[in-house]
Amino acid sequence: MTETEILTALTQVFRDVFDDDAILLTEETTAEDVDGWDSQAHILLIVSVEERFGIKFRTAELESLHNVGHFVQLINAKLERR
């Protein structure tokens, strides 16, 4: 999966979780930019991403997931390691 493909798949996960088909993600998107991205939604986002990509984030990695770019990099790294 290329980073662009990951970003596209990630956008769909965001749209499902936040129930908003208008969401457009860039690498710079943060919680500030998405309506409803609070701490509770963040955990739901993480488990949804884990299910979508078949990966599991480590506890320490969770603390670095603050913008979409970090999500993409980490997903990419985990997919490549497989």
Partner 1 sequence: MEQLLWLPSHADLGVAIGAAKQETDPARRLALAAMLAGYRRDVTLTARLDRLATEGLGDWTTGETLSPQGFTPLRVALLSSHTVDHLVPAIRVAGLHRRLALSVYVAPYGMYRQVLLIDDPQLAAFAPQVVVLALDARDAPLQLSLDASAAEVAAAVEAKVEELRLLWRRARERFAAQVVQQTLAPVDPPLFGSFEALVPAAPYTVTERLNSAIRAAAREDGVLLMDLAWQAAQGSYGSGLGDPVRWHQGKQLVSPNLAPLYGDQLARVLAASVGLSRKCLVLDLDNTLWGGVIGDDGIDGIKLGQGSPTGEAFLAFQRYAALLAQRGIILAVCSKNDLAVAQAAFNHPEMALKRSDIAAFEANWEDKAGNLRRIATTLDIGLDSLVFVDDNPAERDIVRRELPEVAVPELPEDVADYPARVAAAGYFETVSFTADDATRGRNYVLNAERKAAQSQATDMEGYLRGLAMILSATPVGPAELPRATQLINKTNQFNLTTRRYSEAEVQRLASDPRAVALALRLRDKFGDNGLISVVLARPDPNLAPDELLIDTWLMSCRVLGRQVEEAVLGVLVTSAAEVGCRALVGEYRPTPRNSMVAEHYPRLGFSHRQAPEGAEPDASFWHYDLMSSNSAKHFIEVAGP
Q: Which two tokens stand for residue 73?
A: 């990099």
Report, in angstroms and rounded to the nearest whole number, the Rg of the chain calculated over CA atoms. Answer: 12
Q: Which two tokens stand for residue 12?
A: 């769909």
Separation of alpha carbons 82 and 55, rounded Å:
10
Nearer to partner 1, 32 or 63 (CB): 63
Q: How many residues does the chain have?
A: 82
Nearer to partner 1, 5 or 20 (CB): 20
**Residue 48: CB minimum distance to partner 1, A:** 6
Q: Which parts of this chain interact with partner 1 (CB under 8 A)?
A: 16-17, 19, 21, 39-40, 43-44, 46-48, 51, 57-59, 62
70: amino acid identity, one letter: H
Nearer to partner 1, 4 or 40 (CB): 40
**Residue 16: CB minimum distance to partner 1, A:** 5
